[in-house]
Amino acid sequence: MLDRIKACLSSLAPAEQRVGKLVLDDPRSFAKLPVSELADRARVSKPTVVRFCRSVGYDGLSDFKLKLAGSVSEGVPFIHRSVDADDKTGDIMVKVVDNTVAAFLKYRNEASTQAMEKAARTLVQACNDGKRIEFFGVGNSGVVAQDAQHKFFRLGMHSVAYSDGHMQVMSASLLGPGDCVLIISNSGRTRDLMDACDIARKHGATVIVITASGSPLARAGHIHLAADHPEGFDRYSPMVSRLLHLLIIDILATCVALGIGSEKLQPGLSEMKANLRNKRYT
């Protein structure tokens, strides 16, 4: 949670930056003090304190303080540990599993329910209106985009995934109001994805981004689903980031399915399952 604030700090308004520095200087006290005293200490107004909490991805001051208190008092039971060249197989297994568990628990404690609910509502509305839903990603994130398309087309959505920069730009150029594009990026700095994001926005489509806080892509999207973790985006083969992105897609798909409703989804899913039976050995 503190890492997210550090990443976002430079992109905030000066008054909100003072609130952020107050959190970083003494997170335990921030979680306990009333809003009036927090405002006095940061030399800002009380609404600014609330705006800061929302700017960094939380539903408000109460939600921010609740998750901050849990973060500083309990913490995450694992820390990120890099795999070393001389590690044995057993060491590698433990480190990879621990790093993944740590990232998942960190996301559970810090994720913005407001952003997830807004993204789910937007996708449900697009589905109900028969609009297009597209998924963009490159490299490892392109694989996640394909997985997302697989999950959402099963829900009866007009969805497609592109991992080629030229196809993304062409497809974004054809989007319009009511359409949605979900862009996935570990670094949030990939030029092709930024170009596609700008084009989609210009044509009136809603842009949902799954990426690191404080990145250019996080600021460019309409809805930001933060994916913050200690793994650097310059790794040859990111592991934690890919799994975290898949987790966020799973949560979003579940929220969308519930938003569409079982009465509408169940007949199609049941028929799909029945039609797939002859694809398996008995």
Q: Which CATH class is domain 2-73?
A: mainly alpha
Instruction: Please give the helix or strand (H or E) that residue 254 lies within, else none.
Output: helix 240-260
Question: Does the pLDDT value for residue 273 go beyond 80?
Answer: yes
pTM, to two decimals:
0.72
d(CA 62, CA 244): 26
Q: What is the pLDDT of residue 35?
A: 92
**Closest C-alpha among 63, 7, 256, 64 to residue 148:** 256
CB 227 within 8 A of CB 245: yes
Using DSSP's 3-state secondary structure scheme, residue 184 falls into: strand
Domain boundaries, the chain: 2-73, 113-270
pLDDT tens-place string over residues 60-75: 898 888 888 777 655 4
Token output for 90:
């057993």
Least confident of 95-104, 209-218, 267-276: 95-104
Q: How far is CA 254 from CA 66, 118, 119, 251, 257, in A?
A: 25, 14, 12, 5, 5
Between 210 and 84, the more confident residue is: 210
How many residues are present in the chain?
282
Question: Does the pLDDT value for residue 81 go beyond 80?
Answer: no
Q: What is the DSSP string of 203-226?
A: TT-EEEEEE-TTSHHHHHSSEEEE
d(CA 243, CA 251): 12
Token output for 36:
């009036």
Q: 43 — alpha (psi -120 to 50), left (phi > 0) or beta?
A: left
End-to-end CA distance of the chain, in Å?
Answer: 49
Amino acid at 166: H
Least confident of 11-20, 91-100, 124-133, 148-157: 91-100
**Closest C-alpha among 159, 215, 208, 175 to residue 191:** 215
Kindly state which CATH superfamily the domain 113-270 is placed in. Glucose-6-phosphate isomerase like protein; domain 1 (3.40.50.10490)
Question: Does the pLDDT value for residue 76 go beyond 70?
Answer: no
